[in-house]
Amino acid sequence: MEQQSNKTGMDPRITLILLVLLFVVPVAAAIILHSIGDGWRTAITTNKGNLITPVRSVPDFVASTIDGKSFSRNDLEGKWTMFYIESSTCDKSCENNLYTIRQSRLGMGGEKERVQRVMLLSDDGKGESLDMFKKEHSGMIIMQLDDVTRSEVLKSFELEGLPEAQTAQRIYFIDPLGNLMMHYESDVSPRGVVKDLERLLKYSRIG
């Protein structure tokens, strides 16, 4: 990360602050404009996801993947991460969300290598969908944690007033510094996710 900061001449933290402002300012402007002038509306709100403010750091963890490899908190750094939490049974809504994650990354074309897909299993990983994960979502990192660590990690994905992370089937964005910064509700359109990814990658000089 230090090498990238020197290369671009900008502190990564400042870059992320500017990136968040890129999303926050249109939303704030839309709220202000809506509150005056008889509900005047505009298409000024550009992001499709929901910003998490302030961003929160994902806690340390060391996980094992379903193919026997190791994956840790450090592996979240250096890339944009599309993160999903699901059981190994995976219902129809889960399948739709995994499709959205896969297609959104593919939709980035030559920039797709800057994005990784990670899923945290919320159970013991003995469900019947594991073979489907491997076959239809090759390249996605599917990790398992012990009960205690999983409980701690899930806390950082809880959002006030919304269903608990373990069952909500939300799609999350984690920035290249390992910070949770955006989420989508279940069954979001792939097109909306792609537009946000395009914007993030265009203005980001890290990851």
**pLDDT value, residue 9:** 62
Residues 6+ apart with CB under 8 A from 142: 65, 66, 118, 119, 121, 130, 133
Give the pLDDT means over successive 10-residue stretches in the chain (207 positions): 51 72 55 37 58 94 95 97 96 95 94 96 90 93 96 96 96 96 92 90 81
**pLDDT value, residue 138:** 94
**pLDDT value, residue 161:** 94
**pLDDT value, residue 21:** 67
Name which of 72, 55, 58 is nearest 141 in CA terms. Answer: 72
The separation between CA 76 and the C-alpha centre of its own chain, rounded to angstroms, equals 11
Its pTM stands at 0.78
Tell me how far apart the alpha carbons of residues 42 and 33 are, in angstroms, rounded to a whole number.
8
Q: Where are the domains of the chain?
A: 49-203
Give the C-alpha distances (Å, rounded to integers) separating 130 from 106, 119, 139.
Answer: 22, 12, 13
Name which of 118, 114, 74 is nearest 98 in CA terms. Answer: 118
**pLDDT value, residue 30:** 42
Phi-psi region of 138 (alpha: psi -120 to 50; beta: other; left: phi over 0): beta
Cα Dmax for the chain: 59
Q: Are 80 and 59 in contact (CB under 8 A)?
A: no
Name which of 92, 91, 157, 167 is nearest 122 in CA terms. Answer: 167
Residues 6+ apart with CB under 8 A from 166: 85, 122, 154
Name which of 177, 204, 179, 202 is nearest 19 in CA terms. Answer: 204
Q: Which CATH architecture has domain 49-203?
A: 3-Layer(aba) Sandwich (3.40)
**pLDDT value, residue 111:** 93
**pLDDT value, residue 14:** 75
